[in-house]
Structure 1
Amino acid sequence: MTHQFHPSSLREYDIRGIIGETLGEKDAYAIGRSFATLLTRAGGTRVAVGYDGRESSPRLSDALIDGLTTGGVSVVRVGLGPTPMLYYAEAVLEVDGGIMITGSHNPANYNGFKMVFQHRPFFGEDIQEVGRLSAAGDWVESDERGSVADFDILDQYVGRLVAGYSGGEYRIGWDTGNGAAGPAIEKLTAQLPGEHHLLFTDVDSAFPNHHPDPTEEKNLEDLRRLVAEKGLDFGVAFDGDGDRIGAIDGQGRIVWGDQLLSILAEPVLKAVPGATIIADVKTSQALYDRVAELGGEPLMWKTGHSLIKSKMKETGAPLAGEMSGHIFFAHDYYGFDDALYAAVRLIGAVKASGKSLTQLKSDMPQMVNTPEMRFQVDETRKFAAVDEVLDRLEADGADVNRTDGARVNTPDGWWLLRASNTQDVLVARAEAKDQAGLDRLMAQIDDQLAKSGIERGEQAGH
């Protein structure tokens, strides 16, 4: 037997596609066979499997498990829940890997697979290898089928989230957007002191209230209304599979991913003085300055949750984060991105600061920045265009950081141009101290794009 995946489904950080078009049960079975093959060859025997609230998830789960067990690997099913619950299961149960079936924050007709292999992220080359093994039919043939057991880990996971809670009592709004984190948030808030107001915790694959992506302002409107009507201290929101967090303060202002990281970094750096704190290239200069001011070692790294997790292991960093709301705690936790745990730690960090989240937000340096701008560029051109920009800038003697694309520092601030690893788009962002400076930075981006024959044009969706 051999299997060919749709070329668009094997991504940098996961396997993802449109159900019935680019992804289906045959793909899930092939992933199971290839993963079982890789795991068996590495000496592993058992995998944890979880899934999110999408309509297609149970079917994909069954096909995946069929593939894994046919390959002789045993499966522990942990059931419906957020992605970090599966990561937690992989970290604490006697298993050698984990697979989560999730479409994350993609539209309802998408789904996908996020994987962990012997306690490390499974991405990039690993995912390409799944494709190669499937295409060649190079699968381990097992005489004995793997066993399947069910383990309801939700209560244990929630118990771990609240262990050592030090956050005091607040009045908080929580919006899970009908995503997979809902039931866990219901159990979590029942165990936290204070007053908790919950929105859209019932899991519904149609996302009837708003799309579960807390980085888009329009998706926070319901939470804003709730915080305003009830006069709450602040609000937190989650993406479809609970590995990304969004937050608003008591005035309804968004506390962006890098701003959350600057608040979370303070107690961590008190506990681990001089530690490395990692953030991605899209992050505000204010965050790197704040980490340095707190005595930490700021490290700018590539965007992508798997890349950040790998860098954390390499550097021993206790904390990392991305603009997109992935927050990773290795301090007192397991080093994976868990938005529910980040919310608990945020409450603790606000308490430790002696200020309200609203005050913390007000105290932050005022920067003028663009949202993430995304525009369509042909797949064959996207990396080449960034290389051309880098070559021109360096020839001009510009101050350029090449960590992930081009991040250019100027007296006005900085701008970034990078190729997306997951889509045929270029991503740009700029930040300055005032609007005039921002306009000058945008002119530089447009000038560089024009020299490579690209127009910033229509914004591409996620």
Structure 2
Amino acid sequence: MRALTCFKAYDVRGRMGVDLDEDIAYRIGRAFAGVLAARTVVLARDVRPSSNALSDAVARGLVAAGCRVLDLGLAGTEEMYCATSVFGADGGICVTASHNPVDYNGLKMVRAGSAPLDAETGLLAIKALAETDVFAAPDAAGEVVETAAEARAAYVARVTEFVDIDALKPLKILVNAGHGTAGPCFDAIAEALDQRGSPLRFERLFHEPDGSFPEGLPNPLLPENRTATARAVTETGADFGVAWDGDFDRCFFFDQEGRFIEGEYIVGLLAQAFLEREPGGTIIHDPRVIWNTCDVIAKAGGHAVQSRTGHAFIKQAMRDVDAVYGGEMSAHHYFRDFFHCDSGMIPWLLIAELVSRHGPLADLVAARRAAFPSSGEINFQIANPREAMGRVYDALAAAAVSMDETDGLSLDMGRWRFNLRCSNTEDLLRLNVEAQADAALVAEGVSRVTAIVLGDGSHSAA
């Protein structure tokens, strides 16, 4: 039996040749089919150099288990989600490592109905079976069926239902695919909008898929990766900018001045938009940065429900409480009417409608940013994250107004608040600080928690 190190909290991810290879991918395909008793499985892949071979290996494993594999080819994770539900498949897999380093890859997997997989719903069973490498003989022959065109058409039809075309104004939008998977899918959406009379115009940046990522890894959450988008927004006179990560299930926004908009303010905007459509609705949010989101939801008459961070947990919470929308400050946005799944394309369509109806994006977030300033996510690479969290608890918990451990450690210190948690997908400790109408208090909180995290000062923020 070969122990597998690539299984994480809710997906498979690791370094090629170290944690993951074609043999492991084959065995995961076999195990996925076995655990889920799958007959039909959707398969997609991103643009990374290793993704073709891994996708082929997963397909071989599924076929060997007797599955009919609906192959989407180069496609985003959310296209896999859509196809899994639309085609009534027993599960779906996307070969992708999203924003991780270029020598990484992974698999995002869902059950029938695009329902999430985690430790309690089959992920650990798949890991255990893949480790044994002992599989039952199939009772039918498997096959691979190319379904890229049909799947993309169904996906485009679904996401464009979220926007009122008649409400759109002739905005110019700068889009940055980061040489990831987003470009071809975006073009299909843009063409469909144009055919329906949309007045939107687009400027494209780093649009062609290129797994060598010549402009750097597509991860706009990192400040150093935002400059090109910000500059292009101002140079082209765009009304706002959008940038995606590698598999485009996250999208990031820049206002007309090229200023990056932190994820929690987009969550607030989208929550308000959905509560206008569905008064009294339920909105899911993660525990990292919450005050702006909860304030918006309360003023709009909605119901806020907190969930543990991560797509598997948010999606299950969406189903449990029939939430119309869920948002994470890390730029994952989830939609009840998109199979309770996350999408990086639906948000920019909704923001385009909001800007068309209510004015510039900068104006829509200015008051919220002033009322609830935040730090953005700060990452630490340290040897013992749990020990560091313990130091923070010992130093600050007694003075806290309240404490929450839904995901990591959240302490409400009165006029400022922070969340400190270990990443589910990377070896990092993550800090977020927010305050009530006092940006200086955010900086003070960051400094205070950072000093405790770093302890003797021998480590640094990543």
* TM-score, length of structure 2 as denominator length: 0.91
Residues of 2 paired with 1:387 and 1:124: CA distance? 26
Q: Tell me what 1:343 maps to.
A: 348
Residues of 1 paired with 2:267 and 2:94: CA distance? 26
Bigger drift between 149-158 and 107-116 goes to 149-158
The Cα offsets for residues 323-369 of structure 1, whole Å up to 9 and x where unpaired, read as: 11100011x332111101221122223334x2221211223241443
Q: Name the SS of the counterpart of 2:338 in structure 1.
A: coil
The offset of 1:201, in angstroms, is 1.7
Q: Tell me what 2:25 maps to.
A: 28
1:161 aligns with 2:159: yes
The Cα offsets for residues 32-76 of structure 1, whole Å up to 9 and x where unpaired, read as: 111011021xxx311010111111111111111111111122211
CA root-mean-square deviation: 2.2
1:214 aligns with 2:217: no
Bigger drift between 342-351 and 388-397 goes to 388-397
The offset of 1:4, in angstroms, is 3.5
1:260 aligns with 2:287: no
Q: Tell me what 1:106 maps to.
A: 100
Residues of 1 paired with 2:90 and 2:83: CA distance? 11
* TM-score, length of structure 1 as denominator length: 0.91
Residues of 2 paired with 1:284 and 1:275: CA distance? 18
After TM superposition, the structure 1 = structure 2 runs for residues 96-245 of structure 1, keeping only pairs within 5 Å, are 96-119=90-113, 120-125=115-120, 126-152=122-148, 153-163=151-161, 165-166=163-164, 167-169=167-169, 170-192=171-193, 193=198, 194-245=200-251
Bigger drift between 106-115 and 165-174 goes to 165-174
Cα gap change, 1:164 to 1:258, in 2 (>3 Å): closer
Residues of 2 paired with 1:258 and 1:226: CA distance? 23
After TM superposition, the structure 1 = structure 2 runs for residues 306-317 of structure 1, keeping only pairs within 5 Å, are 306-317=312-323
The offset of 1:116, in angstroms, is 0.4
Conserved 8 A contact 1:3-1:30: no
Q: Tell me what 2:277 maps to.
A: 271
Q: Which amino acid aligns with 2:250?
A: R
Conserved 8 A contact 2:30-2:135: yes
The offset of 1:218, in angstroms, is 2.5
Residues of 1 paired with 2:112 and 2:409: CA distance? 33
Residues of 2 paired with 1:287 and 1:34: CA distance? 40
Identify which of 48, 52, 61 aligns with 2:55: 61
Q: Tell me what 2:331 maps to.
A: 325
Q: Tell me what 2:460 maps to.
A: 458
Q: Which amino acid aligns with 1:400?
A: M
Residues of 2 paired with 1:414 and 1:294: CA distance? 23
Q: Tell me what 1:10 maps to.
A: 7
Q: Name the SS of the counterpart of 1:20 in structure 2.
A: coil
Conserved 8 A contact 1:185-1:201: no
Residues of 1 paired with 2:429 and 2:123: CA distance? 23
Q: Which amino acid aligns with 1:301?
A: S
Aligned length: 448
Residues of 2 paired with 1:439 and 1:173: CA distance? 31
Q: Tell me what 1:357 maps to.
A: 361
Q: Tell me what 1:376 maps to.
A: 381
Q: Which amino acid aligns with 1:92?
A: V
Residues of 2 paired with 1:146 and 1:365: CA distance? 54
Residues of 2 paired with 1:345 and 1:113: CA distance? 29
Conserved 8 A contact 1:11-1:124: no
Conserved 8 A contact 1:263-1:350: no
Q: Name the SS of the counterpart of 1:209 in structure 2.
A: coil
The offset of 1:101, in angstroms, is 0.4
Residues of 1 paired with 2:361 and 2:399: CA distance? 43
Conserved 8 A contact 2:27-2:133: no
Q: Name the SS of the counterpart of 1:121 in structure 2.
A: coil
Residues of 1 paired with 2:58 and 2:285: CA distance? 34
Residues of 2 paired with 1:92 and 1:210: CA distance? 34
Cα gap change, 1:65 to 1:128, in 2 (>3 Å): same
Bigger drift between 109-118 and 151-160 goes to 151-160
The offset of 1:260, in angstroms, is 0.9
The Cα offsets for residues 408-443 of structure 1, whole Å up to 9 and x where unpaired, read as: 112331112112223333211212233442344235
Q: Which amino acid aligns with 2:381?
A: Q
The offset of 1:257, in angstroms, is 1.4
Q: Tell me what 1:423 maps to.
A: 426
Q: Sequence identity of aligned pairs in percent?
A: 33
